[in-house]
Amino acid sequence: MTPAGAIARRTLRDSRTRTLSFALLFAFAAAAQGTSYRGAYPTLADRVELARTFGDNRGTRLLYGTPHDLLTTGGWLSWRLGSLPVFAALWALFGAVRALRAEEESGRQELVLAGVVGRGAAFTAAMGAVGAGAGILWLALFAGLLPGHVDPGGAAYLALALLTPALVFAGVGALASQLAPTRRGALALGGGVLVAALALRMAADTSAPLDWLRWATPLGWAEELRPFVGARPLVLVLPALATALLLAASWRIAARRDIGAGLLPARDSAPPRSAGLSSPAAQAVRAQAGGLCAWLAGTGLVALLLGALADSVSGGISGDLDAQFRKLGTSLEQAKGFLGLEFLFLVLALSLFVCFQIAAAREEEAEQRLETLLALPVGRRRWLAGRLAVAALSAAAIALVAGLLAWAGAAAAGAGVSFGALLGAGANCLPAALLFLGLGALLYALVPRASAALAFGLVGLSFLWDTIGSLAALPGWAVGLSPFHHVALVPAEAFDAPAAAVMLALAAVAAVAALRLFARRDLIGA
């Protein structure tokens, strides 16, 4: 294997957890939308009513873009999966910054370049690994589209259209990594570009006079490719050209600048800030403040939009679709039923959030920062207990903010769902998330290197098992193996106190076992 090939392989391996998590998300979303559409809207009359309900709804356009054909499965998929390009762009942005700027910030890039690998080759290898990851996402999305019985060629084109923003934002991340001297700065620059791109897309989709703005954003280009609704393959020239220019500019800068520096000035000195350094737990909060704010803002915005859409969406649900969702334990004919089902996805999001917290703890150990910390008068159990407490309190904050903003959206739309009911729906998400936190901590104590991948896999498998098992009418004992099956769909259902108590007890047992085992094992590097 060539040195450049080894760099690409290592970069791809380092991102495997993030890439596989996104791949599973994309495949599941595509498969669920295709199969549910065909089962819920089997007749033309059902589909005409669907188009009438959602065609001019500005709230749904904010989330998914402008619908062009809701009478066919392909047209539905090309619209309903319209939020995936944002997630693809996030994946690519984080991947590019991690492969370039984070490697320099850790000092590993300097060691690599001290060998036989040149700067250009190292840059090309790192970005090649990001491109290979995008290929994995494309395969997952393509496979997820096929259960909808759509044309394979159209499915391949739709998967490509949804992932074109990922290619552009890989270039944005690469350029931001050359401009900013730190990983945090690069992510801030790239995140600002993504927010601006999303704002332009939303403005174009909700205001007819601003329709032309869609051509000014990579997220708009993905819409203009028009899969299944009058394909425009020539639009692919725009993301291809933008990606090529961004990568060429990044490559040129990377070949000439100093290692560890960026084109933007670095803050070599600043007044000391001792806030958040009083304990390991406080330091963890300080280090993850930006990510926590992003989770709060993202889940809060989605909850606000879902609350605002609850009444109109429930009014447009067909009887066949409602019959399918009754298998999951709720009816979508009322706003409470719709919100109860959507909060089940918040349980999934919070479970993934605590997995990221386990991954962050493992990264601190792998990069030997924990070894330095434990040389101080800090015990192992105290450190891990603090990290688990931070994760639990952060999850609680996200859940309660989501409940509060869902109520605000529902109240603004006149959905008639009480404040207490939706705040309770947010709190109802915590027992399952804390159970996965405890299990993730136990995995971290037992198999540290594989802990993050196993934790993410456990969450994904549990969610799929509950969803597919419920729709397929598997025996109750079999579906009950998933913690998600024991989450009551509040506010449509009453809070299941016994199930929540069992999950919290299991979480506590797993956490205590993790603390004991972690105190006894050796620290393990990357």
- Distance in angstroms (rounded) separating the CA atoms of residues 340 and 489: 4
Residue type at position 263: L
Question: Domain boundaries in the chain?
Answer: 1-263, 279-526
Coil, strand or helix at 71? coil
Indicate the burial class of 307 (C-beta count within 10 angstroms; 0-12, 13-18, 19 or more): buried
How confident is the model at residue 57, as a pLDDT? 66
How confident is the model at residue 267, as a pLDDT? 65
- Phi and psi for 340 in degrees, rounded to 5? -60, -40
Whole-prediction pTM: 0.72
- Distance in angstroms (rounded) separating the CA atoms of residues 340 and 317: 15
> According to DSSP H, which parts of 114-151 are helical?
119-145
DSSP 3-state percent helix, strand, coil across the chain (nearest 5): 80, 0, 20
> According to DSSP H, which parts of 257-318 are helical?
280-287, 289-315
- Distance in angstroms (rounded) separating the CA atoms of residues 478 and 162: 35
**Helix or strand (DSSP H, E) at 354:** helix 335-366
**Residue whose C-alpha is closest to residue 218's, from 64, 91, 85, 97:** 85
- Distance in angstroms (rounded) separating the CA atoms of residues 306 and 12: 35
SS (H, E, C) 21-59: HHHHHHHHHHHHHHHHHHHHCCCHHHHHHHHHHHCCCHH
**What is the pLDDT tens value at each position of the chain, 526 positions in all?**
688 888 888 888 888 878 988 898 899 888 888 887 887 778 888 788 777 766 666 667 777 888 888 889 999 899 989 889 998 999 999 999 999 988 888 777 877 777 778 888 889 999 999 999 999 999 999 999 998 889 999 999 999 999 999 999 999 999 999 999 888 888 889 988 998 998 899 888 878 888 899 999 999 999 999 999 889 999 999 999 999 999 999 999 988 888 878 888 776 555 666 666 777 788 888 878 878 888 888 888 888 888 887 776 655 555 555 555 555 555 556 778 778 878 888 998 899 899 989 988 998 888 788 888 887 777 889 999 999 999 999 999 999 999 999 999 888 878 788 899 999 999 999 999 999 999 999 999 999 988 988 898 898 888 878 877 766 667 778 888 899 989 988 888 889 999 999 999 999 999 999 999 999 998 887 6
